[in-house]
Homo-oligomer: A and B are copies of this chain.
Amino acid sequence: MPQDMHTIQEAADAAGVTIATLRYYEQEGLLRDIQRLPNGHRRYSDQDIAWVEFLSCMRESGMPIQALKRYVSLCYQPGTGRERCDLLTDHRDVVKDKMAALQIQLERIESKIAWYEDALAAQALEANA
């Protein structure tokens, strides 16, 4: 067994996901051709782990499992570079929009916090009077 093969626990820790998630992704076809020992135990390569990290990054940034499935299946078809790239570009735009929305929401929250801080300061002042 090459030195760069890892148990499911090691892979989960390295990629920052749970063991259950690794099995789930494999079941959903997001993670393919994971090696097995003769006893059936999975063994993950560094490349597998890097791929899981990528999947995790896409998930955390809000890409649905379905879109990821589509991306993965394109990765197994040659000549689909443009489609894959477009898929990523679409997702990038979604992420950018989400960040813009979050920025506006953040400002709204901060203005409400400022309002409370003012009110609380005024109240403290009054108490001291």
Residues of A within 8 A of B (CB): 54, 57-58, 60-61, 81-82, 84-85, 88-89, 91-92, 95-96, 98-99, 101-103, 105-106, 108-110, 112-113, 116-117, 119-120, 123
CB-defined contacts of A103 to chain B, threshold 8 Å: 99
Flag if B112 contacts A81 (CB, 8 Å): no
- A113-B92 contact in complex given A61-B106, A120-B81, C-beta closer than 8 Å: yes
Residue of B nearest to A104 (CB): B57
Chain B proximity of A106: nearest CB distance (Å): 5
Bound state CA distance, A112 and B81, in angstroms? 11
Which 10 pairs show the lowest CB-CB distances between chains A and B? A85-B116, A61-B105, A92-B109, A88-B113, A95-B106, A81-B120, A57-B105, A99-B102, A57-B108, A88-B112
